[in-house]
Chains A and B, each alone.
Chain A
Amino acid sequence: MISILGQLDGTGIPLPLYSFRVPAGFPSPAADHVEKQISLDELLDIRAPHIYLVRVEGDSMIGAGIFPGDLVIVDRSIEAEPGHIVIAAVNCEPLCKRLARDGSQVVLKSENPRYPSRYLLEGDELQVWGVVTYSVRSHDKA
C-alpha cells in the first residue's frame, strides 16, 4: 500500500552544513597562508575602460626595450608629459615615440640612433592617443 503524505512544512530551523573535506593525511601547513592568486590582468590593469592593447611593428624604439611584434599596454587616462612613451598621431599619422621637450619645442624622440627625432613644427598637429605603461614580449628560442 502506498500512503501519500502531505507536503512537509519548513520549520525554519537552520541546520549547519560542513563543507570542508576532512584530510586523510596531515593537514597542509600552507592552508592558513593562502592569500590570493597573482593576476597579470590586475597588474597591467587591462580590464579598466581606459586601457588598450596595441601591437608595435618597426625598430625605432628598441632602445627603450620595445621590439617589433611586442604588445604595448596603453593608458588613455594619463596626461602625457615629457619622458613618457606615447602613441600619438602627428598630422593624423599614428606613431610610437618618446615625448620630450627641447626649450619650448615639443620633440618626439626615437630610441634608436638610426632614426632622427621629430621636431614639431608650426602647423604640425599632434594628438596624443595614450601613454605606454608596459610592454609584453615573447622570449621564444633564438
Chain B
Amino acid sequence: MTKPERVFALVDCNSFYASCERVFRPDLKNTPIVVLSNNDGAIIARSYDAKPHVKMGEPYFQVKDRLKKHGIVAFSSNYALYGDMSQRVMTLIESMVPAVEIYSIDEAFADLTGMPGDLERLGRRIRAEVYQRTGIPVGVGIASTKTLAKLANHASKKWQDNTGGVVDLRDQVKREWVLKKCEASDVWGIGRRLSAHLETMGIKTAWDLAQADPWTLRKKFSIVVEKTARELAGTSCLDLDEPDPPKQEICCSRMFGKRLTEIAPIKEAVATYTARAAEKLRRQNSMCKKIRVSIRTGMFNPEEAKYANGIIVELPYPTDDTRLMTNAASEAVDRLYRAGFRYSKAEVLLLNLCQRGEYTDDLFAVSQPESSERVMTVLDSINAKWGRGTMRLASVPTSPDWGMRREMMSQSFTTRVDQLWTVYCK
C-alpha cells in the first residue's frame, strides 16, 4: 500500500487583534483600526484599511496626527479579549479537522492527510463557520507541505478578491504560478537578511528557492533553509509539532507605566511579576531553584543617568510557593536598588526548573512542605474561578500607578461579567 499524499492546511486570522476589536463594535465596521503594544508604545496590528497609512512598529506618539487625519481609531492591546477569541477560533478549527498544531495566537496548522472529499471546499467551510461563529475572518492555505501551506495562505490574502480567502496549491499549475509571483522573502522563515543573501546568489522568487540545490543551501546557510527549499519543491520535511515540552526558564518582564524612583513601588512590581511567573511555573507542574531579578533605567534618553543590574538568588529548596519566591525576589531588589535613578523596567526570571517529582531528593535536604502545595492549590483555584489577582500577597497592589499604560483599552467583552457587551433595546 502506498502512503497517502501528505496534506496540510494553515488557517490564519486576518488582522487578528483589529478583527477582535471589531466583533463587539459593529459601528467600527468601516473604520480603520490600529492596536498598540504594551504601554501604548508602538503599532503592532492594523486593519486592512489602516495598512496604507501607518507602518508596523511605528511609535504611537509619532503617528498620532496621521491617525487622526485618516480617521483611524487606536486601541491599547486587550489580551484578555484576544486570548478568549483565539480560544474560540482554535476550538472551532479543532472540531473540523483530525489534528491541529496551534502555531500562534492567530494561526493553526492542520493535518488533512487522508481526508476524503474536496479539501478546498473544506477550507471554505472552515472559513465560513469560523466567521459566522466568532466574527473573525480567516484565510486558509492548503498544500502538500507546511511551508507551501503557509505560502498558500499568504496567496489567499494577497489575491483575496480572486481566491475568496482559500487557496489549494496541490495543483501543479497553480503552485508554479504562485511560487513565481512570490518573493523569496514571502516564504516562511526567510527573513530580510537571509533574502538579501539569497538574492546575491540569483534567488529572488519563491520559485528560484524551490529550484535551488538543497545541498548547496545546507552548506551555505543551514539545514533549516535546506528543508525550506525541499518543502517548497513539494517534499514534506516538517510534521505537526508536538505540544511544547515544559519550558526550561520562565520570564516575566514589563516596562513600568511611568518611571519609578523609590524602592517601594519597584518591590511591588517585582512581587507582581514574581506572582505571575510562579503561576506559569505551577501550570506546567515545575519547581524552581533560582530566581534572577533585574531592574534598569531607560537606556536611550541621553539626559538620564543609566543603571542596569541583576542578581541571582538561590531558594532553600526547589519550590513553586509564591510566598517564598516573593521574599527572595524582594531581598534581591534590596541589593540591586540604588537611589538617584529613574527606573523603567524590572524582570523576574525563574531558573533551574525541574519537573515536580523529577529532581533527586537528597535524603537530608529540606524539601517544600506539603502545606505549601495545599495553599498554592487553593490560591490557583480561587484565581481561576474569580479572576487573576483575586487572592494575592499583600505586596501586590490591585491597581498600581506604575501599572501598564493602557489608556485606550476596550472592555473585556467575553471574560468579565461586569464588562459584557451592552446592547440597547430602543
Judge: A and B partners, yes or no.
Answer: yes
Residues of A within 8 A of B (CB): 49-50, 52-61, 66, 68, 71, 76-77, 87, 89, 92-97, 110, 115, 127, 129
Contact partners of A96 in chain B: CB under 8 A: 423-425
Docked Cα-Cα span, A50 to B88, in Å, equals 7
B410 to chain A, nearest CB (A): 14
Question: Which of A57, A76, A127 lies in contact with B425, CB distance below 8 A?
Answer: A57
B420 touches A55 (CB 8 A): yes
A49-B91, A53-B414, A60-B425 given; name 8 further pairs at CB < 8 Å: A49-B88, A50-B133, A53-B417, A55-B423, A56-B425, A60-B426, A94-B424, A127-B26
Looking across the interface, which residue of chain B has its beta carbon closest to that of A53?
B420
Could you say which residues of chain A place their CB within 8 Å of the CB of B89?
49
Minimum Cβ distance to chain B for residue A99 (Å)? 14
Given A77-B132, A77-B133: A92 and B27 within 8 A (CB)? yes
| Min CB gap B414→A, angstroms | 7
Chain A residues, CB < 8 A from B91: 49
Does chain A have a CB within 8 A of B338? no
Nearest opposing residue in chain B for A60, CB measure: B425
CB–CB B132/A76 < 8 A: yes
List B residues at the A interface (Cβ < 8 Å): 26-30, 87-89, 91-92, 132-135, 414, 417, 420-426
Whether A49 and B424, one on each chain, are in contact in the complex, defined by CB atoms closer than 8 angstroms, is no
Report the separation of the CA atoms of residues A76 and B421 in the bound assembly, to the nearest whole angstrom.
15
Given contacts A93-B27, A127-B26, contact A56 B133 (CB under 8 A): no
Whether B423 and A56, one on each chain, are in contact in the complex, defined by CB atoms closer than 8 angstroms, is yes
Contact between chains at B420 and A54 (CB < 8 Å): yes
A-B interface, 10 closest residue pairs, ranked by CB to CB distance from nearest: A89-B26, A58-B425, A50-B133, A49-B88, A60-B425, A49-B91, A55-B422, A58-B424, A61-B425, A55-B420
Query: Contact at B425–A95, with CB atoms within 8 Å?
Result: yes
B27 CB contacts on chain A under 8 angstroms: 89, 92-94
Expressed in whole angstroms, the Cα–Cα distance for A106 and B426 within the complex equals 18
Instruction: Check B423–A92 contact: CB distance below 8 A.
Output: no
A54–B132 touching, CB < 8 Å = no
Closest-CB distance, B131 to chain A (whole angstroms):
10
Contacts of A127 in B (CB 8 A): 26, 29
CA distance A94 to B87 in the complex (A): 25
Nearest chain B residue, comparing its CB with the CB of A129? B26
CB-CB under 8 A from B133, the residues of chain A are 49-50, 76-77
In the complex, are the beta carbons of A115 and B426 less than 8 A apart? yes
Given A76-B132, A92-B29, A54–B423 Cβ distance below 8 Å? yes
Interchain CB contact under 8 A, A57 and B424: yes
Closest to B413 in A: A52
Q: Are B420 and A95 in contact (CB under 8 A)?
A: no
Task: Give the nearest-CB partner of B130 in chain A.
Answer: A49
Q: How far is the CA of A53 from the CA of B423 in the complex (A)?
A: 11
The answer to whether A50 and B420 touch across the interface, beta carbons within 8 angstroms, is no
B374 to chain A, nearest CB (A): 20
Most buried by A among B91, B92, B422, B426: B426
A76 in contact with B423 (CB, 8 Å)? no
Residue of A nearest to B94 (CB): A49
- Pick the residue among A49, A55, A58, A59 that contacts B421 (CB under 8 A): A55
* CB pair A76 B134 closer than 8 Å: yes
Chain B residue contacts of A60, Cβ below 8 A? 425-426
Q: Which of B87, B133, B417 has the most CB of A within 10 A?
A: B133
